[in-house]
Amino acid sequence: MTDAETEPGADTRIWQELGQRGSHAALQLAIRSLILRGLTFIGTIVLARLLAPADFGVYGIVAAVVSVWTALGDFGLGASLVQQAGEPTPQQLRTVWTIQQMIALTAVAVIWLAAPVLTGLIAGLPEGTSWMLRILSLGLLMSSLRTLPAVMMERELRFGPLAAAEVIQQATFYSVAIVLAFAHAGPWAFVLAGIGQLAVGALVVNLAWRHRPHLGIDRSCLRSMFGFGFAYQGSIIVLTIRDAPLPALVGLAAGTVSAGLIQFAVRLALTISTIDELVARIAFPAFSRLQGHPEQQSRALDVAILMTGLILIPAQCWIAALAPVLVPLVFGSQWTDAVLPLQLICLATLLRFPARYLRQAEFADGATRRGLGMSIVTTALALAGFEFGLLGWGLPGCAFGFLAGSALGLWASIWLARDVAGLSWGRLTLMFGSALTAAGCAVVTLYAGAYVLGVSMPHTGSAITSCLLAVVSSAVFAATCLFLLAITNRGTLALGWRLAGRAMGRRP
């Protein structure tokens, strides 16, 4: 029995400590998230105007290969350092860092040798694509140098330096990519920008950590960490296979232009939906610290799901509702065919974050087989729906299949984690209903306004007409959504306000 279990009031102190540190970390990551989303949105607008859908498609296909190797990571050894209760030893740090470098070097060597074969599987790729893949794979070496310092700072909830590093990385990526796009570099703009981003990130994070890793492998440390780490990293690999190869699958069936359209839709949908990554980065260390305290862990899980939903559900429903007018207006008419896939993928992302937090809670408790099983089931269902829809109905079909698969994946995750009690699924369902109703009202306003203004479709009028329709429809969405949330989720809104005040230091 641990001291925390025997000492009176220990449960309360652990919860309060995590609340204080977690609130501060949440504020740091929230600021980082706002900046990153702004950079991503502005950068995507510029690149979408300068590059063709086929350029996005080529990069999406090349990046899919590297993403799978990135997910392999360090076999979860870094995550095992976060999950374990005791402080990592120097032997563990040396072992993890050395294994990370060995895996990265092996991955780069394999990709360099196999690049011509891998790129030859998809017809229509431009000459030199194999070299794009080889150059992009060098980023794996830079990522491996960043991983251990980032993991150790995450363990301590030191997200300030990480947030700063990620903002610098994102600014580097879009600065380099936009300059190269103006120089007509095509998909090479993405590749070289990605390398620059990872190099800068590795440098900044290591400077912030202020420790010097050493080479060495301790076999006993490796054995003790490998059991948890392998299952955890296996989960990440499986989930990467769910998302990363989507442009490649479309490219195999329909060519690089269609691959670019789905890459654009996924990229835009994830701009907002990756807010759940912000919460997840705090949640996993917090869940791990609450091992042996099921009531507090369930409460933390419930708060994570509800607070993410409070931000993410209205935002994604707003994007889905106004996509018919915003995409052509902001990004250009060449992306009109991506509107319906974007709408469906936005809705699909809303069914994924509760499953993600449930899975993290299982891993935090050491239930690695169940966590890995949840990843496998959700990935299999999403990819099966995507591929079935793609072969049957093209781009709209694959997006609808992905949505259906994500819905089944959430249901399966809830069933597999049925031992977790006290979660507010009713409040989350009402939140979904409120945002979808508001989205419906916005869509009606959008098309009714287009009819009144004498245009056949919302995006076929002038820029001024499109802006007017977007503003009015957004106002209708915001008013309807806030009104319905105030009725159905008043307690959730109050909790969100209290947590925001605590994070900014206004309330205890």
**DSSP-assigned letters across all residues of 358-405:** HHHHHHHTT-HHHHHHHHHHHHHHHHHHHHHHHHHHHHHHHHHHHHHH
pLDDT of residue 504: 59
What is the spatial distance between Cα 108 and Cα 24, in angstroms, rounded to a whole number? Answer: 38
Task: Supply the Cα-derived Rg of the chain in whole angstroms.
Answer: 23
3-state SS track over 35-59: HHHHHHHHHHHHHHHHCCHHHHHHH
pLDDT digits (tens, 9 = 90+) for 102-112: 989 999 999 99
Domain contains 456: no
Domain contains 455: no
Higher-confidence residue: 249 or 71?
249
pLDDT of residue 480: 98
HSE (CB half, 13 Å, CA atoms) of 446? 26
pLDDT digits (tens, 9 = 90+) for 446-489: 999 999 998 888 888 889 999 999 999 999 999 999 999 999 99
pLDDT digits (tens, 9 = 90+) for 266-325: 989 988 776 777 677 677 777 777 777 788 888 889 988 998 999 899 999 999 999 999
CB 125 within 8 A of CB 57: no
Domain contains 277: yes
Residue 250 pLDDT > 80, yes or no? yes
Tokens of 265: 């839709």
pLDDT of residue 18: 46
Give percent of the chain above pLDDT 90: 53
CB 406 within 8 A of CB 382: yes
Domain contains 252: yes
Residue with tokens 């194999």: 130
Domain contains 2: no
pLDDT of residue 9: 45
Domain contains 462: no
pLDDT digits (tens, 9 = 90+) for 325-362: 999 999 999 999 999 999 999 999 999 999 999 998 88
Domain contains 454: no
Domain contains 32: yes
Domain boundaries, position 73:
20-304+311-423
Tally of domains in the chain:
1
